[in-house]
Structure 1
């Protein structure tokens, strides 16, 4: 009889452990889906988006739905997989979409301008601080598929909390 009680206790403990493991696994799946397909936070730092974003770093929220339905356009801040280094994500502003003519200041020049037409399936991105930004002026139009999200809200630093409009 003692052995039967011992087996029942272990079965009860094993069932409880499996139930708790299932809850944790479901929660982790929920976090993954939310972070990948709905909304995520990102640390953005560097001088290319001055004065919109701080050089020392801002934590921003980006939603991952709009760009999947083609709902991003000129003026929007977006997270983009870097064409120069696919391991990095950059934050830039969309300046032109397919078919737009974009006139831009040539990098490393003070008075030389060029014009480019954004091809189908691409966007033209630039940093707000044009003198230090590595953007479409350097690597050309960016395929729409490299857009990872649309930045909409700053959560850090506390004195700058708020929506990031166009």
Structure 2
């Protein structure tokens, strides 16, 4: 199954030819939302999670990024930037069973990395009936996506 991310924000407008990323001016135009559809970043991200992303942000090793697939540039994917290589960023998913990453297509040129994820918003699963269940969801729903806290054990061990 091909991996994809649905994007809502300035980069989508630029891709559709209606403006440039950040073209509206102001700080908010540099941010957007992306929805995760595939399990390549499990356990950090699950299908259905929303990402708050910043377009054009500086990427560091360990960051979760949204990028254009090198072979299908109309396809957006979410990966972890592992390291810099000669050809760009080596990106990998946190799920060891999904190989749609640099192990398959090599380093990704800088111009294909379009955004850095800042936070994950997990939608509620099912109907939250009690105040306690709603509070529990609210506490766990929004988490920062940071390199020092969300690296999987597999990547930390390298």
- Into which bin does the TM-score normalised by the smaller protein fall? 0.5 to 0.7
C-alpha distance in 2 between matches for 1:38 and 1:162:
20
Q: Secondary structure at the match of 2:114?
A: strand
Q: How many residues align?
A: 113
Greater Rg over alpha carbons, structure? 1
Unaligned 5+ residue runs, structure 1? Answer: 1-27, 98-117
Q: Secondary structure at the match of 1:33?
A: coil
Contact 1:44 1:58 in 2 (8 A): yes
Listed as ranges, the matches of 1:1-40 within 5 Å are 33=24, 38-40=30-32
C-alpha distance in 1 between matches for 2:63 and 2:122:
19
Q: Secondary structure at the match of 2:45?
A: coil
C-alpha distance in 2 between matches for 1:162 and 1:84:
31
C-alpha distance in 1 between matches for 2:106 and 2:23:
32
Q: Scaled by the length of structure 1, what TM-score is found? A: 0.60
- Counterpart of 1:65 in structure 2 is 56
1:152 aligns with 2:118: yes
Runs (4+) of structure 1 exceeding 4 A deviation are: 34-37
Q: Shift of residue 84 of structure 1?
A: 2.3
C-alpha distance in 2 between matches for 1:84 and 1:65:
21
- Counterpart of 2:38 in structure 1 is 46
Q: Secondary structure at the match of 1:87?
A: coil
Q: Shift of residue 65 of structure 1?
A: 3.4
Distance 1:155 1:86, change over 3 A: same
1:119 aligns with 2:86: yes
Contact 2:43 2:94 in 1 (8 A): yes
Q: Shift of residue 162 of structure 1?
A: 1.9
Contact 2:56 2:114 in 1 (8 A): no
- Counterpart of 1:25 in structure 2 is none
Q: Secondary structure at the match of 1:123?
A: strand
Q: Scaled by the length of structure 2, what TM-score is found? A: 0.63
Q: Secondary structure at the match of 1:128?
A: coil
Structure in which a larger fraction of residues adopt helix: 1
Q: Secondary structure at the match of 2:40?
A: helix
For residue 81 of structure 2, the aligned residue among 94, 107, 110 is 94
